[in-house]
Amino acid sequence: MEKIILHLDVDAFFASVEQLDNPELRGKPVIVGGIGERGVVATCSYEARKYGIHSAMPGFLARQKCSQAVFLPVRMKRYKDVSNDIFRLLNRYTDKIEALSIDEAFLDISGYEDKYLSVARTIKENIKKQMGLTVSIGISYNKFLAKMASDWEKPDGFKVITEDMMPDIILPLPVGQVYGIGSKTVSKLNELGVYRVEDLMRWPLEYMVNFFGKQGEDIYHLIRGIDAREVEPEKEMKSIGREITLDKDTDDIQELTEYLKGFSYHISYALRVKDLYAKTVTVKIKTDRFAQHTKSRTLSRPIDKSKDIYKEGALLLKEMQLKEKIRLIGLSVSNISEDYYEQMSLF
C-alpha cells in the first residue's frame, strides 16, 4: 500500500476504564452516565450492549432494558488521564496522529512500509499490557477504509483492508455502513430497492448528487475506495457539533430537547479532551419543507460543560418558536479557544 492509515478506537472507553479500576465490575453490564431523571448514557460496556443499550440513550430507558446494570457517574478527569497515556504511547510510533476524540485517532504509518502489520500489533498489545484496555484497529490505504476496518470486528478487532480486497469486500455491506449515510437515508434507499453497497454502485454520479446533495460526490468516491483526505495532526477545530435526521418529523419540543442533551454530552467530551472552550452555541433545524434555520448566541464567558451547552441550546430552540415539524436537529459550538484564561482576559 502506498499510504498506510491506521484507525484506532478504544472499546467502550469510559465503561472499560471503570471496569479496569474496579475489578468487581468486569463481566457486568456497566453504564457510564444516564444517572438522574433526565440523564443520558455516555458509554456502556459490551455486556450492557447485549440488552440493546447504546450511548445517547436516555437513562430511564436503559434502566428499563437492564435493571441489574451498574450505573456510574462520568469521571472525565480519569478518562482524560488514561487518554493522555494512550496518545503518549501512540506518539512513540509516529507523530502523524489526528485525534478524533478522547479515544479515537487516525495514524499515518506509511513510513513503516512492509513492517506496518507488526507495528500495529505491537501498538495493540502495548495498550493492553500497559493500560489494560482493548482497542479495535483498522488499517487500510485511506481514512474511510481504515475506519470501516476498525468497526469490522469490534471489540478487540484487528482488520486490514488492502487494495486487492476492493471492491469485493465493500459490495455486500449494508448501505448504512457507509460513512455519511444515516438511518433515515437508509430507509429511503431501501424503499428504492437499494440495500447494499452493490446496489448503490450502479448509480451514476449525477444520480448520486441528485439524491444525496453535495455529499453525493463524496459517497460516490468512498464506495469505490477513493478518499484522498490526509491525516492532519494539527487539525484546527473551528466548530464541534452533532446533528441527526429524525426517523419521524416532529414538533415535540420535549423530544427535540432530549436530542440536544445527548449532543451536548458529545460536544463537551470533544472540547474537554483537548482542553478547549467555546463561546458560541448554535442550534440548527430543518423543517419538513426542507427550510433550514439556525440560531446562535455568543456568551460572555467560554464554556465546556455539557450542562452549560445544553442550557444554551435548549434556550435557543425555545426562542426559535417552531411552527412546523422538524426533520433535522443539530447543535454545535464555535469560537473555540485553547485557554480559558486567555478568553477571559479579553474582558
- Smallest gap, in angstroms, from Cβ of residue 267 to Mg ion? 17
In the complex, the smallest distance separating the C-beta of residue 10 from Mg ion, rounded to whole angstroms, is 5
Residue number, 155 or 215, with CB nearest to Mg ion = 155
# of chain residues touching Mg ion (CB under 5 A): 4
Q: How far is the CB of 15 from Mg ion (least distance, A)?
A: 10
Judged by CB, which is closer to Mg ion: 13, or 152? 13
Only segment of 7-15, 32-40, 54-62, 310-318 that touches Mg ion (CB under 5 A): 7-15
**Alpha carbon distances (Å) from 137 to 120, 283, 306:** 8, 34, 29
* 104 labelled catalytic: yes
Q: Is omega for the bond preceding 58 within 30 degrees of 0, making it cis?
A: no
**Alpha helices (H) along the chain:** 13-21, 46-49, 59-65, 76-91, 116-131, 143-152, 183-191, 197-200, 205-212, 215-222, 253-272, 306-319, 340-344
Q: Please pick, among 18, 98, 104, 312, the residue that the annotation labels catalytic.
A: 104
The verdict on 18 binding Mg ion (CB under 5 A) reads no
Q: Mapping DSSP to helix (H, G, I), strand (E, B) and coil, where does residue 294 land? A: strand
103 binds Mg ion (CB under 5 A): yes
Q: What residue type is assigned to position 245 of the chain?
A: T
User: Does 304 interact with Mg ion (rule: CB under 5 A)?
Assistant: no
Q: Which residues contact 120 (CB under 8 A, 6 or more apart)?
A: 6, 109, 137, 139, 158
Q: DSSP string covering 94-146, please? A: -S-EEEEETTEEEEE-GGGGGGHHHHHHHHHHHHHHHH---EEEEEESSHHHH
| Smallest separation (angstroms) from Mg ion to the CB of 216 | 29
* Stretch of residues binding Mg ion (CB under 5 A), selected from 4-12, 88-96, 113-121, 273-281: 4-12
Choice from 4, 6, 7, 9 touching Mg ion (CB under 5 A): 9
Taking the complex as a whole, how short is the minimal distance between the CB of residue 128 and Mg ion, in angstroms? 15
- Residues with a catalytic annotation lie at 104
Binding site for Mg ion (CB under 5 A): 9-10, 13, 103
